[in-house]
Amino acid sequence: MKFEVIPAIDLLQGKCVRLKQGNYGSETIYSAEPLEVAKRWVDAGAKRLHVVDLDGAKTGIAANIEIIKAIIKEVSVPIQIGGGVRNFNLISDLLKFGADRVILGTTAIKNPNLLGNVCEKFGEKIAVAIDAKGNFAAVEGWMYVSKKDTLTLAKEAIGLGVKRFVFTDISRDGMLEGPNIDSIKKFMDAVKVPVIASGGVSTKEDVEKLKEIGAEGCVVGKALYDGKLKLEEII
């Protein structure tokens, strides 16, 4: 299994931004042209992109769909999409349009019936985001925390047919402090399905550590946008 380094493209009001620890008041705008950013990462060697609709994550209404569709259409690598994808029709539409994978977060926790249905219909095309705030999962743009702990939720999701997770330690997201290797490893050992790690990846060593513990890949955001990491060097 080849480890994937996956650049993140976070969309807020049509722009490419990064937040700190998911805080909507802490945005840094990196580009008003997300499609150009997507092409730049692909030109630099990215084999997959991680695109998140932050407006959708917060409100539950997908707000950047036209940009997402333009990215899917214009770039030559698989795209995984998350943020505000909370109904069957939108999941189906994104996959028909050419998204490689749809990542469900809030839906996976609040609507297990839908999760079971889409796993049955789309199989490996569905992944679940577990966004950990301590031992609990945060939902709705990370504004609320679930009452169930992350491992309970993950095991319930596997029972419904989920075969892959994107695991984020919110305390590390956008902080350039390195990933929480212990919590990622604990999660991976418990779920025993492929896990993509996210949050805090900021050095080549971070990437190597995640490879060593057996992660399927990692999502990298702020470190790339701030120039602390060069994609060519870590792919």
Would you please indicate which residues are annotated as catalytic (active-site) residues? 10, 131
Cα–Cα distance measured from residue 191 to residue 159, given in angstroms and rounded to the nearest whole number = 11
Cα–Cα distance measured from residue 115 to residue 127, given in angstroms and rounded to the nearest whole number = 10
Dihedral pair phi/psi, residue 74, rounded to 5°: -95, -20
What are the tokens at 127? 């992944």
Please state whether beta strands 136-139 and 195-198 pair in parallel, antiparallel, or not at all (unpaired): unpaired
Cα–Cα distance measured from residue 192 to residue 88, given in angstroms and rounded to the nearest whole number = 27
Question: Read out DSSP for 86-142?
Answer: -SHHHHHHHHHHT-SEEEESHHHHH-HHHHHHHHHHHGGGEEEEEEEETTEEEETTT
